[in-house]
Amino acid sequence: MIIKNILSAGFKKYGKVIEYPCRDNKGTTRNLWRIVHVSPIKTGWRCAYLVLRDKTIGRMERHPESDETFEPVKGKALFFVSKDKDMDKIECFNLDKPVVLFKGVWHGLIRQDEEVDIKITENAKVKCEYWNFGFRIKSPHK
């Protein structure tokens, strides 16, 4: 499996990169602030903190009614995503930038460092669906 870097164009079918658009305003001393994503669902949201210790995954999950952010805080992780429940369509990214994952996208994480810290924001009430593989995927690193 090819591991890709998260770039806006390559990740757009799954979600969006959390970054400031058109950041070229160099030389100004003003802070830059912008809302980068608004979920159309009005159920409220929650913020979570994940300490990732898994070296393998045997399943992926999705939330059919909630977008979700994954914001790396410390360490390196691999982010597996797929729009379809098809092993041949799973893509793998280095989670090296914060992203908004669209609702309904299958996802799973594997650590590359001893522990990885990730901030997660999602709807206050989340329905989870699971896709069990019947085997485990491990990191190609260490």
Q: Alpha-carbon distance 74 to 18, whole Å?
A: 16
Residue 45 pairs with which residues in a beta bridge?
Answer: 123
Residues with Cβ within 8 Å of 141's Cβ and at least 6 positions away in sequence, in order, are 112
Q: Which tokens go with 90?
A: 């799973």
Tens-digit pLDDT profile for residues 22-61: 666 566 556 565 666 766 666 678 888 898 988 899 999 9
Q: Which residue has the higher pLDDT, 104 or 53?
A: 104
Q: What is the reported pTM? A: 0.80
| CATH 2.60.120.480 assigned to 3-20+36-138 | yes
Helix, strand, coil: what percent of the chain each, to 5? 5, 45, 50
Whether the predicted pLDDT of 6 surpasses 70? yes
CB 72 within 8 A of CB 97: yes
Tens-digit pLDDT profile for residues 111-131: 998 889 999 998 888 899 999
Q: Alpha-carbon distance 68 to 73, whole Å?
A: 16
